[in-house]
Each structure stands twice: as C-alpha cells, then as structure tokens.
Amino acid sequence: MYSLMVMLLFATGLRAQAVVQDDLKALINASLSYFPKLKELNEQAEAGRWKVELGQSNYLPSVSGNVSYNYIDPVAKTMLPIPGMNKEIQFQPNQNINANISVNQVLWDFGRVKNQVDKAKDELQISKTNIEWNKALLAQQVGSIYFNIIYLQQAIAVQDSLLNFLKQNERVIESKMKNGDALELDLLTVKSSTDQAMNRRVDLENLLGKQYNLLSYTTGQDAASVSAGAPLVFVWSVPAKDSLMNTAFSQNEEIRMGKWKLEQASHELSLNKSNAYPSLNFTGLAGYKNGYQPNLDDVRFNYLLGVGLVIPIYSGSKYSTQIRIARSISEQARFALENNMNTVKRDVESSYLDIKSNEERLRNVQGQVVQAERACRLAQSRYQNGTVIYVELLNAQNALLQARLSKLQYQYQLCLAQLDLARLTGIHYW
C-alpha cells in the first residue's frame, strides 16, 4: 500500500508532499487543540490583533463631551458713569456654565501613526508565525513519539520471536538429554539466554510505557490511539537538496519569523525618527455657555475652530538616543536572520544526509536479514541432526535478531530524519 502511495506521488509530481498514517494525523491534530502552550500563543495573537486596531484608531478623530459649572466670587466689576446715575458693570458671571463637544484630529504627523500601525501588524505576523513554528515543533514531537512507539512494539515482537525460539529449543534439549544426545551445558545456556531475553523485553516494555505516558501528556490521548501493527514508515519522496534548501528559505517558520522581526525593527526605526518631526492638528469645539454681554447669565451657542502646529525644539538627546537604539535593534534582527538561515542550511544538509545514509543502510540490512534467516534455518536443521553444537545455533539466532533489530533501528532513524526535514522545510503533513 505504501509503495503504491510513493508511486502515486511520483506520478502526480507532488514531490514536496508527505503522506502519513491517519492515526498519526489524528494524534497531531489532537495535540494542536489540546496543548496549553498553543492556546497561550493564540491568545497572544489575539492581543496582537487588538493592538493593530488600537493603532488604526489614531487615524480617527477624538470626540469628547464636556460639561462644567463653576461659581466664582468675587468677580471683576466696575462703575460706569451714566448721565443721571452710576451703573455697575460686571465682566464675568458668578455662576459659569459651559457645555460643549470638542473634536481633535491629527492632520499630518509625518508617518508616525502609519509606523505605529505597521509595527503592530508586524508584531501580529510574528505571533502568527510563532504559532505555526510551535505547531511544526509539536507535530515533530508527536511524530517522534508515534514512531518510537511503533519501533518499540515491533522490537518487542522480535524479542518475543526470540523467546519462542529459545523455549522451543529448551524443550528440544530436554528431550535430547533424556536420550543422552545433549549436554546439561546446552540446557543451562538456553535458560541463561532466555533470562537475558526476558530482561531485554522488560526494558523495552518499560520504554514503551514511558512513550505512552509522553503521548498522553502531549496529546491527551491514550495508548489505543496508536494502531497495533502500524508501519514504521513516513512516506515522502524527498526532493533534491537544492530544491529543499530553497523551500526551507521560503517556508521555514523560524526564518519567516526572523524576516518579520527585521521588518518590525525597520518600522520601529522609522517611528523613532518621526517622533522628532512636527505634527499638525485640527481642533473644533461647539456648545453653549454664559458670560456674554450684555446679559451675563444668558446661555448662548458658541463654537471654535483652529489648527495647531507642534514643533519639537529640544529634548536633550532623547530622540537621537532612541534612534540609535532602534538602529541597533534592527542590526540585531538582521544578524539573527542570517544566523537562522545558516543554521537551517546546516540542519537541512544534515537531515538530508541522514535520510540518504539510512536508506542505504536499509537496502544493505535487508540482504543481511534474508541471509540470517537462511543461516538460522540451516543451523536449526543441523542441530536437530546433531551436526552442530547448540552454541552455533544460538549464534545464528542472535545474528538474525540483530539483523532484524538493525532494520527496525534504521527505519526508525529514517522516520526521525524525515520528520526533522519536513519541519525544517515547512512541509505540513497533518
């Protein structure tokens, strides 16, 4: 079935796609919805969306309503001589009433608000990319656990086959001893080998239990989530190394996050430069108030329109220092991106070599398994016919065991290398 999948991949040209088992996909998706760290990162991204909206609100006018009442005493008064009498003139009422609506709008700020919004958008993109990066890391971790469980299950099955072989030989040796055709040393040897095989099986069971525990911690799923007898294979027709490198540079989440951080640092630098520029503001006000001659207590409609220009003249070295800091942060982001690209290049080449070497080892070990199986059958036949001693039969069986375990080990290492390369190149297989 999996060979057919590979053929279909070649036929359709999907050389960058990976096909995995349904239960592995289910486990990865379960971990993505269960793992608390991703929930935390999703909340950070949600806060980033609100920051963008907050920055964009600076484009809108600020409108506020104001109502005030003040009682003042004494107030300015004077006596105005009028023919036949002196009239008292009051310049301000004792009870001052003012109700108005004010509007403030930034007309031009030399890109300050735009840089704030762009910086917030960059931060949002960093948060989103960080989520995808952690998803890729979590998917790789779940995949490693999954294939480790399959490897241990199959290793236990190989160990069980050795135990069955030893128990059968133990019965054969006991029967031969009754006829005087075998030595007690052979029986002691097979019992010692059985005890050693049982201990190795216990060790494998212990490791398998720990992997089940780790699977539950990561996905919230139990051991039944891994299908018994699932193949130890990660179906992916790996492209050429140059193609992988180009894909990694464009799709690797860590590199993409580094690019967004560099973009954010650039907007931070522009923002700090714009802080030293003037800003042009519009102010409008309309409402009702008293205090107008000739009747100070009458409440009358009034309005105000104006434009103001704020020009920073001197603030010590505040602006220049902020610009130097922002420029340094931008350089840090640039060097960090270069370092990430070099690291990814190194890791892609390393994983690619691991894949090719394990594929070569698998081709070689397959022949060893076939030869060891034939050698074991011959040794079994010769021992039953009395032409070889038991130690030679045991050596043949151990050689077969080691060949089968080596094959499992190479399959497991190949899966791990493919998982790592898929993460590095940004391939989504879940």
Task: For residue 241, give both structure tokens.
Answer: 């190394």
Residue of 426, 246, 275, 257 whose CA lies nearest to 333: 257
Look at residue 380 in the predicted model and tell me its pLDDT. 81
Check whether 23 has a pLDDT greater than 50.
Answer: yes
User: For residue 180, what pLDDT is reported?
Assistant: 62
Band (pLDDT 50/70/90 cuts) for residue 179 is low
Look at residue 83 and tell me whether its pLDDT is greater than 80.
Answer: no
**% of the chain at pLDDT higher than 90:** 55
Position 100 scores a pLDDT of: 96
Q: Give the C-alpha separation, 427 to 421, whole Å.
A: 8
Contact call for residues 224 and 86 (beta carbons, < 8 A)? no
Say how far apart CA 87 and CA 79 lie, in whole Å: 6
User: Element (H or E) spanning 67, and its range?
Assistant: strand 62-71
In the prediction, which pLDDT does 178 show? Answer: 65
- Does residue 236 contact residue 422 with C-beta atoms inside 8 Å? yes
The confidence score (pLDDT) of residue 223 equals: 65
Quick one: average pLDDT of 311-324? 89
Quick one: pLDDT band at residue 303, thresholds 50, 70, 90? Answer: very high
Closest CA to 141 of 425, 411, 419, 352: 419
pLDDT of residue 15: 39
How confident is residue 22, by pLDDT bands cut at 50, 70 and 90? confident
Q: How confident is the model at residue 353 (pLDDT cuts 50, 70, 90)?
A: very high
Look up the CATH architecture of domain 2-34+109-277+313-424: Up-down Bundle (1.20)
Q: Count of alpha carbons within 13 Å of 34, Cβ hemisphere only?
A: 16
The pLDDT > 70 percentage for the chain reads 92
Q: Write down the pLDDT at residue 8.
A: 36
Q: Is residue 419 within a helix (H) or strand (E), and if so which, with residue range? A: helix 390-424
Q: What is the predicted pLDDT for the residue at 11?
A: 37
pLDDT value at residue 389: 74
Provide the pLDDT for residue 329. 94
pTM check: above 0.95: no
Q: Is the pLDDT of residue 82 over 80?
A: no
Residues 6 or more apart from 150 whose CB is under 8 A from it? 226, 230, 231, 232
Q: Is it the case that residue 245 has pLDDT exceeding 60? A: yes
- Whether the per-residue pLDDT at 131 is higher than 50: the answer is yes
Average pLDDT over residues 352-375: 92
pLDDT at 1 over 60: no
Does residue 182 surpass a pLDDT of 60?
no
- Measured between alpha carbons, how far is 362 from 374 in angstroms, rounded to an integer? 19
Q: What is the mean pLDDT of residues 189-206?
A: 87
Higher local confidence (pLDDT), 301 or 2: 301
Rounded distance, CA 126 to CA 121, Å?
9
